[in-house]
């Protein structure tokens, strides 16, 4: 079913017709191997936010692909900074997307994984309190949970005094959560890049100039540049580009 603003593939094979949800799902399908996919939206001049939030960069085509990426993943990984700032709500999928998951032998909803070193998290935040699947908080051995957090989430402790991301992802894989979708933010993406854990980047480029001020999609310590080959280019009729870069 095609809804909203048409999206077409420009590369490698141009599509003459707009892509329906089935075609888009095939382009962003699940992998046979464990995979960490990262999804971001940025402005043409590289800004990760407008007025402090990602919403000003994201239109209907981006939201459509954003939802499809959530549909096909086992777990949705988000850094505590973004989780707090963007006020993450419970992960919800419409009936059509839940049916797709059931048909593919998946749980109805992906598991939310919040990455936090401080555990400065509010157990009453809707993403925890209303979660359809019990969330996981990826943290380290020294972190003290606030009252109530362990009532609404499982703690996964990897690392002694800081989160060991490689060990954390390996433990998620061991629990059967192999298709991981990371929705940011920039510091987590920077740390994942530094640890060479990023298999794929899905980047929506919004056709606007945000001007100086906002940060980029990656933040944190400097790391050596890493190649990530282009796999496809989609364009939506509102001028948005959707790039998929992946190791495989
Ligand atoms: N355009 C987009 O697609 C997009 C996507 C996501 C976010 N954003 C924007 O990005 C901004 C938020 O960014 P942010 O600077 O707060 O970065 P962030 O990466 O969202 O969050 C950083 C926090 O995540 C936890 N964390 C990240 N990496 C960690 C690691 N290696 N080990 C342990 N904990 C780690 C820590 O939480 P604790 O403090 O709890 O220890 C850290 O303070 C917001 O403005 C949001 O709107 C934009």
Residues of the chain with pLDDT > 70: what percent? 99
Q: Match 């990826």 to its residue by tokens.
A: 138
Rounded-to-5 percentages of helix, strand, coil across the chain:
25, 25, 50
84-114 pLDDT, tens digit per residue, is: 999 999 999 999 999 999 999 999 999 999 9
pLDDT at 26 (0 to 100): 97
Pairing of strands 241-246, 230-236: antiparallel
- In what helix (H) or strand (E) does residue 194 lie, and over which residues does it extend? helix 186-194
239 Cβ neighbours under 8 A, 6+ residues apart: 207
Ligand 1 atom, smallest distance to 41 CA: 3
Q: Is 81 in the pocket of ligand 1 (CB under 6 A)?
A: yes
Distance 234 CA to ligand 1 centre (A): 27
Nearest protein Cα to ligand 1, atom 43:
81
Distance 21 CA to ligand 1 centre (A): 30
pLDDT in tens, the chain (248 residues): 556 999 999 999 999 899 999 999 999 999 999 999 999 999 999 999 999 999 999 999 999 999 999 999 999 999 999 999 999 999 999 999 999 999 999 999 999 999 999 999 999 999 999 999 999 999 999 999 999 999 999 999 999 999 999 999 999 999 999 999 999 999 999 999 999 999 999 999 999 999 999 999 999 999 999 999 999 999 999 999 999 999 97
- In what helix (H) or strand (E) does residue 189 lie, and over which residues does it extend? helix 186-194
For residue 185, cis peptide bond before it (omega within 30 degrees of 0):
yes
Distance 103 CA to ligand 1 centre (A): 33
Give DSSP secondary structure letters for 153-188: -EEEE-SSSS--HHHHHHHHHHTT--EEEE---HHH
Nearest protein Cα to ligand 1, atom 10:
185
**H-only helix segments in 35-158:** 60-72, 80-85, 95-103, 126-129, 149-152
Distance 111 CA to ligand 1 centre (A): 18
């Amino acid at each position: 079913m095609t809804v909203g603003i048409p999206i077409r593939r420009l590369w490698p094979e141009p599509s003459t017709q707009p892509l329906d949800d089935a075609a888009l799902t095939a382009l962003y399908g699940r992998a046979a191997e464990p995979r960490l996919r990262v999804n971001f939206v940025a402005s043409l001049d590289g800004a990760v936010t407008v007025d402090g939030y990602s919403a000003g960069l994201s239109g209907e085509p981006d939201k459509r692909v954003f939802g499809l990426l959530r549909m096909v993943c086992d777990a949705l990984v988000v850094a505590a900074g973004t989780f707090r700032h963007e006020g993450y709500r419970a992960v919800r999928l419409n009936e059509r997307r839940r049916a797709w998951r059931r048909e593919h032998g998946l749980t109805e909803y992906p598991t939310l994984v919040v990455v936090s070193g401080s555990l400065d998290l509010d157990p009453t935040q809707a993403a925890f309190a209303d979660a359809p699947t019990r969330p996981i908080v990826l943290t380290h051995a020294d972190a003290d949970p606030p009252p109530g957090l362990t009532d609404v989430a499982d703690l996964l402790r990897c690392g002694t005094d800081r989160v060991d991301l490689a060990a954390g992802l390996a433990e998620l894989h061991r629990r059967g959560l192999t298709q991981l979708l990371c929705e940011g933010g920039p510091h987590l993406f920077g740390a994942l890049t530094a640890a060479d854990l990023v298999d794929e980047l899905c980047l929506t480029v919004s056709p606007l100039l945000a001007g100086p001020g906002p940060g980029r999609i990656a933040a944190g310590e400097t790391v050596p540049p890493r190649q990530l080959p282009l796999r496809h280019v989609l364009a939506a009729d509102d001028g948005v580009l959707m790039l998929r870069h992946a190791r495989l």
